[in-house]
């Protein structure tokens, strides 16, 4: 699934995957950065809490964005695929200055929203400049190939350590994993790239965002890090030769660890320390 085509004269909106457990009480750096990208004070934000089964999830983000100065926050929950065909909910997406997808179960998101008018509206709005962000499960579904599940707690890629499913397809350049350092998910992100090294892996820590700009440069915000796994130089993968819990041999993988101020260009595949670079005398 390719991203929606950006019309002549238009600029694609920011894509903002957040690793989960973002600060919601103190300085709220990550959420405030997303809100600023949506236009800041007076913005109209659509919140989709479908991944969560907790009734208060949508209400909490609604209050957070209202407290930041949003003019309107529409909480759009979807319990069935039929809900995702309702014209009034589609209009709410079309009128939004920013779209935010909460955490929970990413398969609940994909099975309810996948291929519906709501999913199409999210894709179209992002192609017309509207930022789309998501935290935890909401981050995972933003890309074309979504990590739907798999084994954590291992830095070693294994044949059965990851399950993939189609996501929203806002970008086909990356594969996103969340709660990255906290749940030791390097192994399953490597396994995802062992299947096909076309994409670039973004492992996003909690309270951290990988902000993908219209120019396909990834910026980092938050208290953690974004681990970039670049398999463009992959020389060998044994994924086709192993099965079950067997480890996967991968040669030629490059890894960068980015913190706030650093960046990575998805087109040139070059990392930069950015504002973290030492000042030359």
The partner residues of 101 in beta bridges, in order of sequence, read 48, 134
C-alpha distances out from residue 270 to 134, 183, 259, 273, Å? 25, 27, 15, 10
User: Per residue in 34-62, pLDDT tens?
Assistant: 999 999 999 999 999 999 989 899 999 99
Report yes or no on 2 lying in a domain. no
What is the distance between the alpha carbons of residues 84 and 122, in angstroms, rounded to a whole number? 11
Instruction: Give residue 207's domain range.
Output: 15-263
The partner residues of 18 in beta bridges, in order of sequence, read 135, 209
How many other β-carbons are positioned within 10 Å of the β-carbon of residue 112? 21
Q: Is the pLDDT of residue 278 over 80?
A: no
* Domains in the chain, number: 1
What is the distance between the alpha carbons of residues 46 and 97, in angstroms, rounded to a whole number? 8
- Residue 167: which of 192, 147, 141, 189 has the closest Cα? 141
Buried b (16+ CB within 10 A) or exposed e, 225-247: bbbbbbbeebeebebeebeeeee
Q: Is the pLDDT of residue 281 over 90?
A: no
What is the distance between the alpha carbons of residues 273 and 261, in angstroms, rounded to a whole number? 7
Report yes or no on 40 lying in a domain. yes
What are 76's two structure tokens? 């759009």
State the pLDDT confidence band at 196, using cuts at 50, 70 and 90.
Answer: confident
243 is catalytic: no
Report yes or no on 141 lying in a domain. yes
Report yes or no on 3 lying in a domain. no
Report yes or no on 279 lying in a domain. no
Average pLDDT score over residue span 8-25: 97
179 is catalytic: yes
Report yes or no on 271 lying in a domain. no
Of the candidates 52, 110, 136, 237, the residue annotated as catalytic is: 136
User: Per residue in 200-254, pLDDT tens?
Assistant: 999 999 999 999 999 999 999 999 999 999 999 999 999 999 999 999 999 999 9
Of the candidates 144, 145, 179, 221, the residue annotated as catalytic is: 179
C-alpha distances out from residue 228 to 53, 62, 182, 267, Å? 31, 31, 16, 13
Of the candidates 22, 62, 151, 206, the residue annotated as catalytic is: 206
Average pLDDT score over residue span 103-119: 97
How many other β-carbons are positioned within 10 Å of the β-carbon of residue 3? 18
206 is catalytic: yes
> Residue 114 sits in a domain of what CATH number?
3.40.50.880
Percent of the chain with pLDDT over 70: 99
Report yes or no on 280 lying in a domain. no
Report yes or no on 7 lying in a domain. no
User: Per residue in 79-90, pLDDT tens?
Assistant: 999 999 999 999
DSSP secondary structure letter of residue 26: S
């Amino acid at each position: 699934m390719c991203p929606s085509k950006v019309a002549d004269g238009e600029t694609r909106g920011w894509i903002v995957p957040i690793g989960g457990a973002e600060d919601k009480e103190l300085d709220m750096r990550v959420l405030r950065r997303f809100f600023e990208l949506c236009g800041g004070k007076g913005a109209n934000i659509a919140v989709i809490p479908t991944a969560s089964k907790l009734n208060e999830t949508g209400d909490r983000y609604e209050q957070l964005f209202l407290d930041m100065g949003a003019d309107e926050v529409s909480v759009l929950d979807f319990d069935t695929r039929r809900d995702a065909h309702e014209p009034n909910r589609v209009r709410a997406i079309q009128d939004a200055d920013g779209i935010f997808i909460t955490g929970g179960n990413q398969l609940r998101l994909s099975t309810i929203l996948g291929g519906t008018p709501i999913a199409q509206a999210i894709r179209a709005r992002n192609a017309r400049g509207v930022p789309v962000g998501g935290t935890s499960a909401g981050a995972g579904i933003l890309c074309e190939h979504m990590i739907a599940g798999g084994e954590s707690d291992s830095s070693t890629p294994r044949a059965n350590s990851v399950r993939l499913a189609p996501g929203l397809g806002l970008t086909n350049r990356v594969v996103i994993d969340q709660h990255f350092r906290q749940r030791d998910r390097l192994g399953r992100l490597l396994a995802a790239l062992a299947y096909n090294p076309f994409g670039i892996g973004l492992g996003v820590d909690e309270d951290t965002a990988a902000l993908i700009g219209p120019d396909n440069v990834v910026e980092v915000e938050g208290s953690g890090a974004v681990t970039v796994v670049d398999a463009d130089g992959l020389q060998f993968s044994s994924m086709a030769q192993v099965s079950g819990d067997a480890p996967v041999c991968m040669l030629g993988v490059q890894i960068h660890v980015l913190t706030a101020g650093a960046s990575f260009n998805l087109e040139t595949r070059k990392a930069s320390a950015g504002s973290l670079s030492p000042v030359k005398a």
